[in-house]
Amino acid sequence: MAKSSSKTKSAAKSRSRKPGLERDELLNFYKDMLLIRRFEEKAGQMYGMGLIGGFCHLYIGQEAVVVGMQAGLSDKDTVITTYRDHGHMLACGMDPRGVMAELMGRRGGYSKGKGGSMHMFSTEKNFFGGHGIVGANVPLGTGIAFSHMYRGNGAVSLTYFGDGAVNQGQVYESFNMAALWRLPVIYVIENNRYGMGTSIERASANTDLYMRGSAYGIPGETVDGMDVMAVREAGAKALAQVRAGKGPLILEMQTYRYRGHSMSDPAKYRSKEEVLKMRTEKDPIETQRKLILDGDHAGEADLKEIDREVKLLVTEAAEYAQHSPEPDVAELYTDVLVEV
């Protein structure tokens, strides 16, 4: 973490050195993270009401990772992730209404109600899912990077996965091919310290996950994933390197999820104090709020206005979803195959 705290400092320094850059960016980051936070809280509430079924993995606490990474992406870059995917979709610009409707299994959802929380996609926003098998999206993201290389389109594949997935064999099969063929892929490891109920110390012989590509010569860096400015800076640097044709990179985001693994997880494997400490000392939204206020980029009233806008977006999403009908029963048999 020594490395990451120096990053925070350099982000703070650059703020004072680069006037003008920031106001919009700082406020946008704040808004985007807050949208994810409020959306996930609403999803938890809807789950409690029985309106969302099955598994529901909330992203609360990890917001800075996707918001900071997304800031550096161009229109042609692509994103793929695992099952804790609501934040990634919102960060990609997908409509909160369509995401919430999918969580509820409704017609207006991104997958017409047939995918659910873990299986949503948007070809329009270059978001390739939403995958439920731990580790399986890593070869898929590597394949998307392969398509970028094949087409020579200059795009980068952002492939997210967690500290649980890093021990899957197919991750290393992917690292090998990505390095061998110098594919334009950034592997973003969201290390939230627990693979379901098992801490990284209990699951990984070496917990420096950014080093996991070293056998293949893939450079890695650890980043304070609770600080959106640090993530943005690391992301921008990584994207520039990959776009320059230097091959794959690993960014290990030190992050934390406040909630259990899924809605039914009481998270007894960690202490309340640990959670409280992260929430009070490292919360990405509070950190950003402080940065904005202390730097006098905006006042309390401006932030309150953003809070209000976000709350409205989330309320609308929940309203839309609840009023969207369930899929037509005829949809049971559609989309199995592309008809020819």
Partner 1 sequence: MPALSPTMTDGTLAKWLKTEGEAVAAGDVIAEIETDKATMEIEAADEGVLGKILVPEGTENVAVNTPIAVLLEEGEDAGALSNGAAAAAPSAAPVVEAVSAPVAPVAATIPAEAVYAGPTTRLSVREALRDAMAEEMRRDDDVFLMGEEVAQYQGAYKVSQGLLEEFGERRVIDTPITEHGFTGLGVGAAFAGLKPIIEFMTFNFAMQAIDQIINSAAKTHYMSGGQLTCQAVFRGPNGAASRVGAQHSQCYASWYAHCPGMKVVTPYSAADAKGLLKAAIRDPNPVIFLENELLYGQSFDVPTEEDHVVPLGKAKILREGGDVTIVAFSIMVGRALEAADALAGEGINAEVIDLRTLRPLDTETIVNSVKKTNRLVAVEEGWPFAGIGSEMAALMMEQAFDWLDAPVARVTGADVPMPYAANLERLALPQTQNIIDAAKAVSYRS
Given a contact cutoff of 8 angstroms between Cβ atoms, the answer to whether 12 and 290 are in contact is no
Query: Considering only residues 221-260, where is the footprint of partner 1 by CB under 8 A?
Result: none
Span near partner 1 by CB under 8 A; candidates 18-26, 87-95, 137-145, 208-216: 137-145
Subset of residues 51 to 80 that bind partner 1, contact rule: CB under 8 A: 51, 53-55, 78, 80
Q: Are 121 and 111 in contact (CB under 8 A)?
A: yes
For partner 1, the binding residues in 284-303 under the rule CB under 8 A are: none
User: Which one of 7, 31, 86, 131 is in contact with partner 1 (CB under 8 A)?
Assistant: 131
Residue with smaller CB distance to partner 1, 143 or 219: 143
Q: Which of 74, 147, 206, 271 is the binder for partner 1 (CB under 8 A)? A: 147
Torsion (CA) 202, 208, 213, 215 in degrees, nearest 10 = -80
Name the H helices within the chain: 2-17, 22-48, 63-70, 86-91, 96-103, 137-151, 169-180, 200-203, 228-243, 272-281, 284-294, 300-323
Stretch that binds partner 1, among 12-20, 25-33, 143-151, 198-206 (CB under 8 A): 143-151
Is residue 271 close enough to count as binding partner 1 by CB under 8 A? Answer: no
Query: Which of the stretches 5-13, 135-143, 230-238, 248-256 binds partner 1 when contact is defined by CB under 8 A?
Result: 135-143
Which residue from 115, 128, 53, 94 is spatially nearest to 331, judged by alpha carbons?
A: 115
Could you say whether residue 50 binds partner 1 (CB under 8 A)? Answer: yes
Binding to partner 1 in span 89-128, by CB under 8 A: 109-115, 119-123, 128
Give whole-number Cα distances, 253 to 62, 65, 265, 334, in Å: 9, 7, 23, 39
Site for partner 1 (CB under 8 A): which residue of 265, 270, 293, 307? 265
Binding to partner 1 (CB under 8 A) within 164-203 occurs at 169-170, 172-174, 176-177, 180
Task: Closer to partner 1 by CB, 102 or 190: give it.
Answer: 102
- Of 92 and 223, the one with the shorter C-beta distance to partner 1 is 92
Tokens of 281: 């000392």
Residue 83, helix vs strand vs coil = coil
Q: Is 215 in the site for partner 1 (CB under 8 A)?
A: no
Contact between 141 and partner 1 (CB under 8 A)? yes
**How far is Cα of residue 21 from the mean position of the Cα atoms in its chain?**
24
Question: CB under 8 Å to 328, separation ≥6 — which residues?
Answer: 107
What is the C-alpha to C-alpha distance for residues 247 and 98, in angstroms, rounded to an integer? 35
Residue whose CB is less far from partner 1, 94 or 223: 94
Closest approach, Cβ 279 to partner 1, in A, equals 9
- Per CB under 8 A, the list member of 201, 205, 280, 333 interacting with partner 1 is 333
Q: Nearest-5° angle of CA 44, CA 45, CA 50?
A: 95
Contact flag: residue 41 with partner 1 (CB under 8 A): yes
